[in-house]
Amino acid sequence: MKRNSQTLRVAAAVVIILGTVVYLAVSGAKSNKSYYVTIGEMRAMGSKAYTRHLRVAGNVAPGSVERSGSKVNFVLVEQGHRLTVNYLGDDPPPDTFKDDAQALAIGTLGRDGVFQATQLQAKCASKYAPANKPGASTASLTPLAASQ
């Protein structure tokens, strides 16, 4: 009898510990999940857009970048849609972040329609373009891209 009650206690403790670990893993995975959407798709989401962590890509509108330390306000443009972005991340924007650059903002949409980004990535398309040399194959990369 004593052995059965001790086994029952150990089994109950194992179930509680495993349940807690599973709960923490699932809730942590949900909080880190972000949805990749276009600006048009985000607008079509309605009120769901305000409650989800989103990734939105587009081109930086020329002349829209306003810097203040590591904080940056700018406008993303994608297929005729415009989105004002307020980047409040801890890191400064990447060096490739400039007018007409492709950018990816990660964060949440505020009720005022301004996207509050906590992460910002920029891509410089010219880094990955094929070399434009006479007689060169279109598969060759520029020296900068080949070294990366």
pLDDT tens digits in sequence order for the chain, 148 residues long? 567 888 888 888 899 998 888 877 776 655 555 677 888 888 888 888 888 888 898 888 898 888 887 788 999 998 888 999 999 877 878 778 888 888 888 888 888 989 998 888 877 655 544 555 555 444 444 444 444 4
Domain residue limits, the chain: 1-33, 34-126
Pairing of strands 102-109, 81-87: unpaired
Return all residues near 59 (Cβ < 8 A) that are at least 6 apart. 76, 77, 78, 100, 101, 102, 103
CB 86 within 8 A of CB 117: yes
pTM here is 0.60
Q: Which two tokens stand for residue 124?
A: 């410089």
Handedness of CA 43, 73, 124, 122 (dihedral sign): negative
- CATH number for the segment(s) 34-126: 2.40.50.140
Distance, CA of 59 to CA of 85 (rounded, Å)? 12
